[in-house]
Structure 1
Amino acid sequence: MGGRPCGSCSHTAATEEREGTLDSAGRIGSRQLGTPGAGRDRVLRVMGRGGAFPEGLAGSAGLSTGREDARDRVSDPHECRGNEPAIPADRPRNPAPSGQDQACGDSPLTSPRVWLLIGEKAGDNTQLRALAKALGWSTTEKRCRYRRTELLTNRLLGTTLLGMIRARSDPLEPEWPDLVLTAGRRNEPIARWIARESGGRTRIVHVGRPWSSPERFDLVVTTPQYDLPASDRVLVVDMPLHGVRPEALAEAARSWRTQFVDLPRPRIAVLVGGPTGFIGFGKRTVVRLARESETLARWRGGSLLVTTSARTPSFAADLLERELTVPTRIYPHGGERNPYMAYLALADEFIVTGESASMLAEAAATAKPIHIFDPTREDGPWSRLRPRALGRLVREALGPRRMKRDPLGIPRALVEKGRARWLGEAPRNASRGTPQTDDLERAACAIRRLFPEARDGGAQAPSDASMTPKDGR
């Protein structure tokens, strides 16, 4: 559609000054870390078990160093660029925003009320929180918990709350929001139910792959790994949205810079995902990850900062600890103090398992070199016979085009663009990542265009309290 000014956006270009905290090598606070010290012959854990550590950036909003105005997050202060969808032509413009009796000529909506439908997948929740923070509108999180039968009821009944355990979820009642941000299959019927109860006033923006047709949403923000047909309601961004920002990285560097001074540089962070769909991620895969990571660290003369995630098999941390002999710090999933943001801030390079698009996006945001581990080499035709994989196989074979997913589509695109390289390639200097494109602002700008009656001047960045995850993550 081409770039054009966004009538509802009013921004200033403060991003460059904020991003000045990154030096030319993409490091934050690295000159204050001291010199490498001892510790070459041990593998150390930095955290105990217990608690909850989700994959990707857990509760990114809570890691911010302070409130941010939406005007500080736009790379171009005047334009919405790329393939931003137009307001759907067949969607009637909202009547009076919920809770108001707005007549023609009355004052426009100042700041739309936003609900975030928070589910059980940390990656989805991270994207929703990052997008809400970029919008800077009044935001309320609605935690949702689901019945095991939700797939059946949702597919048979469509717009329903029968798939939701209402007693364990946050209440859904007036005043209805002007906008619902949702992600994941389980939340789709809930979002449509809210829009119906609001009399059609509530707009729905879905992040990720929708199970329903994109035409049932006002906007779908998705990534290339999902094969969605072109539509005025679909915005394709390069990578999943996230909340990694220079100021949060700088704060993490200040808090943790003394913790890793004994580790030789370069410090290489290893971000470990886990099984998904057709990808098994068994013991052989974990052993190969350990060996290829150690090979890189030895060749570079550095050390490893390892973290597992919610999807990582329970045996993986112990197996990695046994296999690795270079200086290493391991953070097993579930520690009390989460160093994930510190790893992003203080690592000089990254190894990321390729099936984790969220962790790839967060690593790429640091503009540091990225090595991508291919977790599919041990998977053969038999890998499609696992129960979870069979379900995906049936969906892709019998379902619509949008149900197909290329789990390594994003890694391949990063490699093709020279922003990353595959781990295990011939030793050479790693490709350097580049900062996140304006994906987040493009998505926020496309949403603002759904509300031409909104005034930016009244938009307030959500408070830290309103953006704090109710599940403690």
Structure 2
Amino acid sequence: MSEAGAVWVLADPRAGTAAQALGIADRLGVPVREVPLAWGGLARLPWPWPTLAGLTPEARARIAPPPGSAWPRLVISAGRRSAPVARWLGRRGARLVHCMRPGLGAGAFDLLVIGRHDLPPGRLPGDPGLAPNLLPILGACHRMAPTRLAAARAEWAALAGLPSPRIGLLVGGPVRAEGMAPAVAAALGAAVAGFAGSVLATASRRTGAAATEALAAALAGRPHRLHRWGEGGPNPYAGFLAWADALVVTGDSVSMLSEALATQASVFIADPGGLGPRHRRLQESLVAAGQARMLAAAPAPFVRAPLDEAGRVAAAIRGRGWV
């Protein structure tokens, strides 16, 4: 068992990025110190050496042991901007586990957790040309652990009253644009409503208000729950995952696809158009692994085992004796 404070998680301000590191830490079963990061203007630079220069002064002050504590034995980070910070801590004796491609200095990490869709084109896990510190995974790590899904199923038990099949619809949006096209959202909502007994739909930050309202109009008159991004009250997202008989996820969201795969439900990928090579490779990797099918195959259910990549990474860390 690791002593308190021996494991630090560098938490990027972007929730989806931070969740990758935190999801692994959640599964270690040891005390963890979460260190919130905040970026200054220098964070955009591709730092070739370990440094804290990309942090704001306030965040830089947090990169120090609390009084009476030592430097960490293990640091878990995610995202390119946090990589120089993790490497700075590595010079103080920490083992380093990093999610996503770190940019420069990849060889400084003890373990790199990289989605198969982010591997060099044509390379597969196990290829001798890949770095020995690489642990390829399907999708991305996250915090939707089996215990969290079980708790959400109890918390949102009222969703059981909706007609079956309950289809969870997880809607993202363009990665680097302003909102999904309303016509795309409307067409997706109508397609899912056509084979659902009820729809459990959620929009994201990238969906945009116009597309969310178009989705709402497409679901009107059908049994459904729609969660709008930023609305008040408890967020039913985990409950939707826990109670869905099948899940339809737009292929632009690595996080939502990965979280959907933590359930036992059949997972279908909706292509909203305009996807780049990285997201195409993600779709292909999930379909090839038998973890998902494209929306055209819906609503026919199929059997798949819940995917727990964060648990697998945590087991690899424990197996190496780092905690």
Please classify the TM superposition score into its range, dividing by the shorter chain length.
0.7 to 0.9
Would you say 1:332 and 2:228 are equivalent positions?
A: yes
Q: What RMSD in Å do the two structures reach over aligned CA positions?
A: 2.7
2:84 paired with 1:189: yes
CA contact (8 A) 2:52 2:60 kept: no
The alpha carbon displacement at 1:279 in A equals 11
Distance change in 2, residues 1:162/1:307 (3 Å)? same
Within 2, Cα distance between the matches of 1:170 and 1:119? Answer: 15
The 1:230/1:168 distance shift into structure 2, 3 A limit, reads closer
Matches within 5 A, 1:178-327: 178-196=73-91, 198=92, 201-228=93-120, 230-259=130-159, 261=161, 263-276=162-175, 281-297=180-196, 302-325=197-220, 326-327=222-223
CA distance in 1, matches of 2:113, 2:47: 25
SS class of match (2:58): helix
Q: 1:224: how far off?
A: 0.6
| C-alpha distance in 1 between matches for 2:187 and 2:60 | 41
- In structure 2, what is the equivalent of residue 158 of structure 1? 49
For 1:39-50, list aligned pairs within 5 A: none
- Whether 1:375 and 2:266 are equivalent positions in the alignment is no
Determine the structure 2 residue equivalent to 1:398: none
1:60-110, CA deviations, whole angstroms, 9 ceiling, x for partnerless residues? xxxxxxxxxx9xxxxxxxxxxxxxxxxxxxxxxxxxxxxxxxxxxxxxx86
Please report how far the alpha carbon of residue 255 of structure 1 lies from its aligned counterpart in structure 2 after TM superposition.
2.0
TM-score, length basis structure 2: 0.85
Return the alpha-carbon distance in structure 2 between the equivalents of residues 255 and 134 of structure 1.
22
Once the two structures are superposed, what CA deviation does each residue of 1:31-61 show, in whole Å capped at 9, x if it has no partner? xxxxxxxxxxxxxxxxxxxxxxxxxxxxxxx
Q: Where in structure 2 are there 5+ consecutive unaligned residues? A: 121-128
* TM-score normalised by structure 1 residue count: 0.60
Quote the Cα distance in structure 2 between the aligned partners of 1:434 and 1:449: 23
SS at match of 1:329: strand
Q: CA deviation at 1:289?
A: 1.8
What residue is the counterpart of 2:253 in the other structure?
356
Whole-angstrom CA distance in 2 between matches of 1:272 and 1:254:
24
2:72 corresponds to: 177
Corresponding residue of 1:58: none
SS at match of 2:195: helix
Residues 1:147 and 2:44 aligned together: no
Higher strand share: 2
Contact 1:366 1:433 in 2 (8 A): no
Structure 1 Cα separation of the partners of residues 287 and 320 of structure 2: 35
Mapped pair 1:429 → 2:300: yes
Displacement of 1:278 after TM fit?
A: 8.7
Contact 1:180 1:205 in 2 (8 A): yes
Aligned residues of 1:420 and 1:432 also touching (Cα < 8 A): no
Q: SS at the partner of 1:276?
A: coil
Q: Deviations over 1:402-422 (max 9, x none)?
A: xxx621323223323443221
Aligned to 1:167: 58
The structure with higher relative contact order (CA 8 Å, sep 6+) is 1
Q: Which amino acid aligns with 1:288?
A: A
Q: Is the 8 A contact 1:268 1:347 kept in 2?
A: yes
If each structure's helix is expressed as a fraction of its own residues, which one has the higher value?
2
Alignment check: 8 A CA contact 2:113 2:137 kept: yes
Please state how far the C-alpha of 1:316 moved relative to its aligned partner: 2.4
Whole-Å separation in 2 of the counterparts to 1:169 and 1:271: 36
The separation in 1 between residues aligned to 2:47 and 2:112, in whole angstroms, is 23
Q: Max radius of gyration: which structure? A: 1
Count of aligned pairs between the two proteins = 309
Instruction: Give the 3-state SS of the residue equivalent to 2:41 in structure 1.
Output: coil
- Measure, in 2, the Cα distance between the counterparts of 1:354 and 1:322: 22
**What is aligned with 1:83?**
none
What CA distance in whole angstroms lies between the structure 2 residues aligned with 1:313 and 1:168? 31
- The one of 108, 111, 127 equivalent to 2:20 is 127
Matching residue's letter, 1:423: L
User: Which residue in 2 is equivalent to 1:116?
Assistant: 9
AA aligned opposite 1:343: F
TM-aligned CA deviation for residue 187 of structure 1: 0.7
Structure 1 match to 2:244:
347
CA change 1:156–1:138 in 2 (3 A) is closer
Are residues 280 and 337 of structure 1, via their aligned partners in 2, closer, same or farther at CA, if it must alter by over 3 Å? closer
Unmatched segments (≥5 aa) in structure 1: 1-69, 71-108, 385-404, 455-473
